[in-house]
Amino acid sequence: MSPTTSTLRAEASWARAPANYALPVARGRIPLARGWLALALCALVGSGLFSVLLVFARTPGLANHLPGGDFFRTALVVHVDLSVLVWFVAIAGLLWSVSRRAQGRASRSEWAALALAGAGATSMAVAPFIAPGAPIMANYVPVIESMPFIVGLLGVAAGGAVLVGHALFAGPGLGDGLDGAASLRFGLWCAAACGAIALFAFALSTALVPRSLESRAYWEILFWGGGHALQFTWTLLMLVGWLWLAQAAGAQPPLSARVTLLLFAIAFVASFVTPWAYLAHEVTTVEHRELHTWGMRVGGGLAIFPIALAVLLALVRQRSVTAEARPLRAALVTSIGLFTAGGLIGLTIQGSNVKIPAHYHGCIVGVTLALMGLVYHLLPRLGYRAPQGRLAVAQPWCYGIGQLMHIIGLVWSGGYGVQRKVAGAEQVLRSPGEVFGMGLMGAGGAIAIVGGMLFAVVVWRAMRNGSTR
């Protein structure tokens, strides 16, 4: 056998071999990572408090004791922005901070990004109480038309822009060779690049969307393009999380580093549909809107399915699970389950009813559960105790099962045509089936709230119990 043939076979074997999907933590950047973690926890707790009001506002029998529709919509705006925007940005900041190859300390501008995002989130949360405005239920980034809220939203955007800039400047992290850690760094870099595309889309829409439009139409069109690009960012973070969690839980995904890098690249390239949409169609046209939707459905699925299948296969093959790995495995299983349920529901949507929030609640909570699992895994690497015990294992199941009940109730009610983004008497629940569906939604939502709060409790206990260093 010639040396060339031997080398080629060795390279082919290496390319097929499953990779070790674990990332070392940059120790010099741990203080910054802790700051992002604190912001993420505050956002999640704040979102949970507002979600209590939401569930009460939509549950038959309880809605009559709350102020009404405007109160519901205002609470919904803050709940969504804290749980979908601030929480995801903060966890992205955590992951981009600890995954850097460079071991030096964080720069002043990186700390400034955290400060901007934290101040912005605070302003958004208190805006309904100090300067009430009209709530606009725009997709992806709902808003309250009041100065404190808008200033807060801009603060989060500015912090996110600095954060994305640093993540991009750090590079794709491939280094001298391609292994599991390098492929995960590449996935995180792709997520940052998608974030940059989203910020560009938001800026472009701000320049192109006529301000003379009615408020609902203006904010809806303004956030549509960038909002779709952001979904690629969150999805890539989730895919990185699935592989990382599987490895940490003791399950070896049967994917080589090269195949994983290719799948991440496919998801990244699919986000190019965003700038294409701006070039091909005017921002206010239906064609522009539909192109974004098509790109998210097709491009995202090409990367998600193979990774999900590989992770599930690894979990099935796993023979034993350590005590420290049990919370990670629970978060991973529930994440894949909820995201899959949300995706399947999306295929059944017809018209504008509560099947739409069922779809995105499933997908968003799927991402959230993966990120929760990563937080559990990173806690001891940030100098805290590792979450263990029944509560840490039960938390993902409580949150996941509650959200599954929540979206099943919404799908059930959507079959009767119950409209989205309404509460109380506005829901017009006529039949026992409609009442049952929304009641199931309320019960599941309450259980999910408990699950979300348990996450904060588990993390707080791990942090309070002292440093491992």
Task: Give the CATH number of the domain where residue 44 resides.
Answer: 1.20.120
Judged on CB neighbours under 10 Å (0-12, 13-18, 19+), 108 is exposed
Q: Which residue has better confidence, 130 or 381?
A: 381
pLDDT in tens, 156-172: 999 999 999 999 998 88
Task: Find all residues with CB under 8 Å of 29, minimum gap 6, and list them.
Answer: 97, 98, 100, 103, 104, 105, 106
Does residue 407 lie within any of the structural domains? no
As a whole number of angstroms, the distance between CA 469 and CA 462 comes to 13
Tell me the pLDDT band of 439, cut-offs 50, 70 and 90.
confident
pLDDT exceeds 60 at position 316: yes
Q: What are the structure tokens assigned to 32, written together? A: 């910054």
Q: Which residue has better confidence, 64 or 43?
A: 43
Q: Which of 451, 455, 456, 418 is CA-nearest to residue 437? A: 418
Average pLDDT over every residue of 25-51: 90
Task: Find all residues with CB under 8 Å of 246, minimum gap 6, and list them.
Answer: 21, 252, 253, 311, 314, 315, 332
Does residue 164 lie within any of the structural domains? yes
Q: What are the structure tokens assigned to 121, written together? A: 């989130």
As a whole number of angstroms, the distance between CA 346 and CA 358 comes to 8
pLDDT in tens, 129-157: 888 888 998 889 999 999 999 999 999 99
Q: Determine the pLDDT at residue 66.
A: 54
Q: Determine the pLDDT at residue 14.
A: 40
Lowest mean pLDDT among 15-19, 144-148, 200-204: 15-19
* Residue-averaged pLDDT of the chain: 85
pLDDT exceeds 50 at position 394: yes
Predicted structure pTM score: 0.88
Range of the structural domain that residue 149 is part of = 30-170
Does residue 131 lie within any of the structural domains? yes
Q: Determine the pLDDT at residue 148.
A: 95
pLDDT exceeds 90 at position 50: no
Does residue 396 lie within any of the structural domains? no
Q: What are the structure tokens assigned to 222, written together? A: 């303004």
Lowest mean pLDDT among 58-67, 206-215, 291-300: 58-67
Q: Would you call 144 helix, strand, or coil by DSSP?
A: strand
What is the Cα gyration radius of the chain? 22
Lowest mean pLDDT among 4-13, 108-117, 311-320: 4-13
Does residue 116 lie within any of the structural domains? yes
Task: Find all residues with CB under 8 Å of 166, minimum gap 6, and list them.
Answer: 96, 107, 109, 110, 113
Tell me the pLDDT band of 457, cut-offs 50, 70 and 90.
very high
Helix 286-317 and helix 257-270, axial crossing angle in degrees, nearest 10: 160
Cβ atoms of 76 and 135 within 8 Å: the answer is yes
Helix 180-208 and helix 147-169, axial crossing angle in degrees, nearest 10: 140
pLDDT in tens, 62-88: 656 554 446 678 888 998 899 889 999
Does residue 436 lie within any of the structural domains? no
Q: Which residue has better confidence, 417 or 377?
A: 377
Q: Would you call 45 helix, strand, or coil by DSSP?
A: helix
Does residue 265 lie within any of the structural domains? no
Q: Which residue has better confidence, 411 or 401?
A: 401
Average pLDDT over every residue of 213-240: 94
pLDDT exceeds 60 at position 185: yes
Does residue 323 lie within any of the structural domains? no
- Total number of domains constituting the chain: 1
Average pLDDT over every residue of 217-233: 93
For 143, list phi and psi in degrees, rounded to 5. Answer: -135, 160
Q: Determine the pLDDT at residue 379.
A: 96
